[in-house]
């Protein structure tokens, strides 16, 4: 099985076709680009033309949103086959998916839905991760979710749940720092304490994104993982805490809605790179 991630331990961004002209003209110093797998499962056309142009010059991360790795039903073999074809075509340095489910009874829900953290769920996700890794012939990374509710039947803490999956399948972990902050806030928890027990030794990539702040019916703070704004200051703080534990690691700026002009997205990546460079300097001095 091919090991992932081989991404540079530097800052990258999510690729948007609207930015291709600026990327080609500027040849920016971002280390890698990430795409959503499901946007490139067609046979050809502009999406593949754009991606082939990008792939010639940059490392690539493929991020899935439709595998439904936590589903109680069998995984969609046609989807896995399309994913394998995409990975074989572009040979990405990393492939990742979410700890979530999004399908039931042949219906696809346009959301990443949460799981109860139980022994039964753990066994099912482990089997599904093994199946995907064997089918793709490569290691996958599993991302911690943004959650808005807790299940009464959950008997395992999220960091322990993810660590056990990584230990038993050999998968890596994708630490979404914004998701940590969103989940902790929504559940009335301290974000630093929520992050502290994460299995940092398995982290191969980090995601940063913006969120939308509102309140629930009781007036309590409610954060939505919206990917539509700059990274919030508390998330930058958590990112620095995470990097202190992992050392420099491939870090992605996600901005999927209300996508800004290229200079704004590039500036976010530069801010992440500053944190990574400082961590590298500290490691070199130690």
Q: State the CB neighbour count (10 A cutoff) for residue 252.
A: 28
Tell me: the pLDDT tens digits for 196-237? Answer: 999 999 999 999 999 999 998 888 899 999 999 999 999 999
Q: Are 209 and 225 in contact (CB under 8 A)?
A: yes
Burial profile 190-227: b = 16 or more Cβ within 10 angstroms, e = fewer:
ebeebbeebbbebbbbbbbbbbeeeeeeeeeebbebbb
Q: What pLDDT is recorded for position 257?
A: 95
Strand partners, 213: 223
In Å, how far are 78, 170, 207 from 14, measured between CA atoms? 25, 26, 10
Q: At what angle do helices 46-55 and 77-90 cross, to 10 degrees?
A: 40
Q: CA torsion 193→198→204→210, rounded to 10°?
A: -40
Helix (H, G, I), strand (E, B) or coil at 222: strand
Structure tokens at 120: 């039964």
Q: What pLDDT is recorded for position 222?
A: 93
Helix (H, G, I), strand (E, B) or coil at 177: helix
Q: Give the distance between the most distant pair of CA atoms in the chain.
A: 56
Whole-model pTM? 0.96
Q: Which residues of the chain have pLDDT under 50?
A: none
How many Å apart are CA 90 and CA 82, to the nearest integer? 13
**Number of helical H runs and strand E runs in the chain:** 9, 12
**E strand or H helix that includes residue 12:** strand 11-14
Q: What pLDDT is recorded for position 4?
A: 55
All domains in the chain, ordered by first residue: 11-285 (3.20.20.150)
Q: What pLDDT is recorded for position 157?
A: 95
Q: What pLDDT is recorded for position 211?
A: 97
How many Å apart are CA 189 and CA 184, to the nearest integer? 5
Q: What pLDDT is recorded for position 101?
A: 87
Q: What pLDDT is recorded for position 106?
A: 73
Q: What pLDDT is recorded for position 5?
A: 65
Helix (H, G, I), strand (E, B) or coil at 95: strand
CA 251 to chain CA centroid, Å, is 10
Strands, E assignment, 69-202: 94-98, 101-104, 107-113, 141-143, 172-176
Residues 6+ apart with CB under 8 A from 266: 13, 28, 30
């Amino acid at each position: 099985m091919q090991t992932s991630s081989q991404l540079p331990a530097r800052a990258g961004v999510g690729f948007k076709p609207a930015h291709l002209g600026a990327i080609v003209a500027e040849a920016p110093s971002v280390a890698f680009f990430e795409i959503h797998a499901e946007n490139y499962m067609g046979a050809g056309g502009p999406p593949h033309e754009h991606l082939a142009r990008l792939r010639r010059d940059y490392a690539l991360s493929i991020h899935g949103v439709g595998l439904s790795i936590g589903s109680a039903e069998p995984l969609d073999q046609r989807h896995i086959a399309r994913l394998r074809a995409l990975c074989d075509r572009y040979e990405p340095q990393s492939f990742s998916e979410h700890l979530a489910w999004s399908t039931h009874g042949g219906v696809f829900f346009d959301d990443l839905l949460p799981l109860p953290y139980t022994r039964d769920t753990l066994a099912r996700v482990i089997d599904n991760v093994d199946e995907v890794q064997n089918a793709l012939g490569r290691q996958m990374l599993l991302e911690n979710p943004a959650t808005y509710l807790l299940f009464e039947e959950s008997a395992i803490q999220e960091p322990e749940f993810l660590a056990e999956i990584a230990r038993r399948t050999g998968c890596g972990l994708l630490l979404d720092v914004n998701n940590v902050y969103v989940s902790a806030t929504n559940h009335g928890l301290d974000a630093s304490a929520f992050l502290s027990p994460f299995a940092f030794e398995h982290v191969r990539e980090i995601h940063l994104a913006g969120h939308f702040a509102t309140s629930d019916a009781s007036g309590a703070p409610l954060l939505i993982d919206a990917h539509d704004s700059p990274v919030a200051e508390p998330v930058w703080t958590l990112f620095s805490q995470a990097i202190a534990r992992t050392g420099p690691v491939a870090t992605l700026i996600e901005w999927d809605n209300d996508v800004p002009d290229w200079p704004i997205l590039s500036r976010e990546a530069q801010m992440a790179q500053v944190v990574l460079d400082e961590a590298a300097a500290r490691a070199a001095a130690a």
